[in-house]
Amino acid sequence: MKNGSSHSHHILPPRVYLGVGAALLILTAITVAVSFFNFGPYNLLVAMLIAAGKASLVALFFMHLKYDNKLYMTIFVASVVFLAVFIILTMFDTLRRDDIYDIGAGPIRDRAVMYDSVAVDSTITGADSIEAVSDTTINQSPGQ
Amino acid sequence: MNELPTKSYLNDPKGLKSWLLTLDHKRIGLLYLFSIMAAFALGGIFAMLIRLELLSPGKDFMEADTYNQLFTLHGAIMIFLFIIPSIPAILGNFALPLMIGAKDVAFPRLNLASWYIYILGSAFAVYSMVAGAADTGWTFYTPYSTETTTSVISMTLGAFILGFSSIFTGLNFIVTIHKLRSPGMSWFKMPLFVWGLYATAIIQVLATPVLGITLLLLIIERVAGIGIFDPAMGGDPVLYQHFFWFYSHPAVYIMILPGMGIISELISVFSNKKIFGYKAIAFSSLGIAFVSFLVWGHHMFVSGQSELAAMIFSFLTFFVGIPSGIKVFNWVTTMYRGSISLKTPMLYALSFLFLFTIGGLTGIFLGALSVDVHLHDTYFIVAHFHYVMMGGTVMAFLGGVHYWWPKIWGRMYSELWARISVALIFVGFNVTFFSQFILGSQGMPRRYYNYLDQYQPLHAFSTYGSWILGLGFVIMAVYLVHSLFKGRVAGSNPWGALTFEWTTASPPPHENFATIPETTHGPYDFDKIVPKRTLTED
Ligand SMILES: [Cu+2]
């Protein structure tokens, strides 16, 4: 480190790289293994946790975030938090839309009322979302 | 008698090419000044036409479709072409390096690039006007924006490109503030305008990309038919609003924070008194920047968003009142027992205090869930955000323009005409927009082309106000242009301020300072230092 700057590249011994590489392979194997189990609603969570662990290993060791100026780590973590805020607060909406009225969010059929120039009668088959609405206490068809 | 310096950034070097390829932050600030003022004039003319059409119910002189396009253009131009870049790109560019004792911003080429990108984005916006202007409102809500046949794509592409200009400016300012402060200028010796710009720059860099992503998704849905927001294709139209307001609420603070920075300068200088609560003002800027990312759902209370989310967002929204209140109290306390001189910039600062407080407090009404259900999408909203944006940001911007005008050109405007103009603008503004609070609370919906007869008196009143307002701006344009040729020579420090920009010549030389100044006192140490004013007669 001739110039003595905090920017100089940290050289890691090969065994660290090999160790991290092995850990990544093991985590990949685990990803495949857990896909044979059904955790119900937690399937996504499990998969995301493993993926996040792998991504952290890559960022920390292969991309040297662990040994670099702490400013980069701060910016990296801050941006992850920032993204998390956006997703979590949005989830408070999208996951809880049917709290009071039991109308869940779901795709509207192509021939849903708002996409139709002619008024739709209730006899159309396969109208999941329309039926869901008419089952509730709301006395309006969604087109009105 | 003061003399203009023979050589300044204005005349050295000469020639059109030297302006178009300039790397001087002061010249880039002026390039922005002219282009942004052109946008402001255009948006203002649209506003006048809208008010004129609303003078009486039914059709006066334009079709309903034209009306829809005009309010969209008014909104989009005023937001994306005028108010977001106004203070950072014009006054920030001009004053920031001067205020921290630097020769220029950290990346002068990036700075020039940001102006060309601004021009490119504006070109797209202007093109969309010619090619059948969008009629969606400036928010481009889906599903309508994916269906209308008007030129949504070129307008959103324009906003997308303008976003990069904003990011470049923000990035530049962050690095400049971190790296180029003069020797001895610690963080807490920075002028508060610099703190305002810093907080703004953080939001610009963090939030603007989200707007870019949103508009790209919209374009992808329109062009490629991929279902993201359209429920017929499995998308979620409310998701668009999440995306849009995740940027656009913080963007409100991109608009207001630098304005608050200007107000801190003005109130301290024209009260000739040390600012009260320096650190509280500085940190409340950062506090506002932080809270601004957590409240976007308050635009969506009646969108079909879940009740839980609405409650959380309503709760979080009230926190915005705390840092804003801290600032207002600190400004008022600064004036307390100061020796206040009611020069034009100070008149704008006082207008800001009144109007911003009204705008802020009505924001509390709107943050309350039950009240918002009644007031949502009425003229109450229109009045509220015009009090914040025009009564707040534009007043601060005009105050800043009048404050730094003698530094920019070396000459003074006519104080008499400036006061007449500020009076007209203040009165005209309140006539135009206070009536809209009442209209809205009585149920007049915004963006409507026609209305019931019962609303006519207030609509007419509002339209008369817009004429007073317009007259104020015409007078301003005349005396400002006149001052460039005939104005009294101002000298380096006409106001008796203590920040660095007033220690160099007006207009400053190309390299800003003969020698890099050193920080020996705080920016508002009026209790310790009596600065020498170069204009005394009055
Ligand atoms: Cu908001």
Residue B7, in any domain of the structure: no
Residue of chain A minimizing CA distance to B229? A107
Partner residue facing A89 (CB), from B231, B236, B297 = B297
Residue A2, in any domain of the structure: no
What is the reported pLDDT for B421?
A: 97
Same domain, A67 and A127: no
Using alpha carbons, select from B436, B429, B428 the residue that is nearest to residue B457: B436
Residues of chain A with pLDDT > 70, as a percent, come to 63
Tell me the residues of B at the A interface, defined by beta carbons under 8 Å apart.
Answer: 143, 206, 210, 227, 231-236, 238-239, 242, 246, 293-294, 296-297, 300, 304-309, 312-313
Q: Which two tokens stand for residue B76?
A: 């989009």
| Cβ atoms of residues A62 and A17 within 8 Å | yes
CA–CA separation, B433 and B459 (whole Å): 10
Q: What is the pLDDT of residues B117-131, one digit of tens each?
A: 999 999 998 888 878
What is the reported pLDDT for B134?
A: 82
Residue B3, in any domain of the structure: no
Same domain, A71 and A27: yes
Partner residue facing A110 (CB), from B232, B305, B312 = B232
Same domain, A112 and A90: no
Ion ligand 1 residue ranges (Cβ < 5 Å):
B 249
What is the reported pLDDT for A99?
A: 78
Cβ contact, residue pair A89, B313, below 8 Å: yes
Using alpha carbons, select from B300, B163, B195 the residue that is nearest to residue B239: B300
Q: Which two tokens stand for residue B59?
A: 């059709």
Residues of chain A with pLDDT > 90, as a percent, come to 19
Cβ contact, residue pair A96, B309, below 8 Å: yes
Residue type, B36: I
Same domain, A68 and A48: yes
Distance from residue B203's CA to the centre of ligand 1 (Å): 14
Same domain, A75 and A132: no
Torsions phi, psi for A42 (to 5 deg): -90, 5
Does a cis peptide bond (omega within 30 degrees of 0) precede residue B13?
Answer: yes
Residue B159, in any domain of the structure: yes
B356 Cβ partners below 8 Å, 6+ apart?
B256, B328, B387, B388, B391, B392, B395
CA–CA separation, B309 and B315 (whole Å): 10
Same domain, A24 and A55: yes
What is the reported pLDDT for A125?
A: 43
Same domain, A81 and A47: yes
Best of B246, B296, B308 to disrupt the A interface by mutation (most A CBs within 10 Å)?
B308
Residue B102, in any domain of the structure: yes
B257: left (phi over 0), alpha (psi -120 to 50) or beta: alpha
Residue of chain B minimizing CA distance to A106? B234
Read out DSSP for B172-206? HHHHHHHH-PPTT--GGGS-HHHHHHHHHHHHHHH
What is the reported pLDDT for A104?
A: 62
| pLDDT of A118 strictly over 50 | no
Q: Which two tokens stand for residue B378?
A: 């009425």
How many CB atoms are located within 10 Å of the residue B1 CB? 5
Cα–Cα distances (Å) from B98 to B95, B272, B456, B492, B530, in that order, read 5, 21, 50, 13, 21
DSSP at A10: P
Q: Hey, is B378 helix, strand or coil?
A: strand
What is the reported pLDDT for A40?
A: 82
Residue B537, in any domain of the structure: no
Torsions phi, psi for B378 (to 5 deg): -110, 180
Q: Hey, is A143 helix, strand or coil?
A: coil
Using alpha carbons, select from B74, B68, B199 the residue that is nearest to residue B145: B68
What is the reported pLDDT for A108?
A: 63
Q: Tell me the pLDDT band of A120, cut-offs 50, 70 and 90.
A: very low
What is the reported pLDDT for A112?
A: 54
Best of A80, A89, A91 to disrupt the B interface by mutation (most B CBs within 10 Å)?
A89
Domain boundaries, position B250? 16-529
Using alpha carbons, select from B363, B359, B358 the residue that is nearest to residue B298: B363
Q: What is the pLDDT of residues A27-58, one digit of tens each?
A: 999 999 988 888 888 888 888 899 999 999 99
Angle between helices B321-335 and B344-367 (to 10 degrees): 150
Residue of chain A minimizing CA distance to B241? A90
Residue B6, in any domain of the structure: no
Residue B1, in any domain of the structure: no
Partner residue facing B306 (CB), from A97, A107, A112 = A97
B268 Cβ partners below 8 Å, 6+ apart?
B274, B275, B334, B524, B526
Dihedral sign, Cα of residue B83, residue B89, residue B90, residue B92? positive
Distance from residue B141's CA to the centre of ligand 1 (Å): 15
Question: Which CATH number covers residue B296?
Answer: 1.20.210.10
DSSP at B532: P
- Locus of tokens 């730094």: B404
When divided into structural domains, chain B yields a total of 1
When divided into structural domains, chain A yields a total of 2
| Cβ atoms of residues B363 and B291 within 8 Å | no
Domain boundaries, position A51? 12-97
Same domain, A33 and A76: yes
What is the reported pLDDT for B222?
A: 84
What is the reported pLDDT for B227?
A: 83
Find how far residue B51's CA is from the centre of its chain. Answer: 22
CA–CA separation, B318 and B315 (whole Å): 6
Same domain, A116 and A89: no
Residue B411's DSSP bridge partners are B489
What is the reported pLDDT for A137?
A: 38
B315 Cβ partners below 8 Å, 6+ apart?
none
Read out DSSP for A73-107? HHHHHHHHHHHHHHHHHHHHHHTTTTSSS-----P
Q: How many residues does chain A have?
A: 144
Residue A3, in any domain of the structure: no
Residue A68, in any domain of the structure: yes
Best of B228, B230, B236 to disrupt the A interface by mutation (most A CBs within 10 Å)?
B236
| pLDDT of A119 strictly over 80 | no
CA–CA separation, A9 and A6 (whole Å): 9
Distance from residue B296's CA to the centre of ligand 1 (Å): 5
Cβ contact, residue pair A90, B312, below 8 Å: no
Same domain, A90 and A36: yes
Low-confidence ranges of chain B (pLDDT < 50): none
Same domain, A51 and A75: yes
Same domain, A123 and A77: no
Cβ contact, residue pair B294, A94, below 8 Å: no
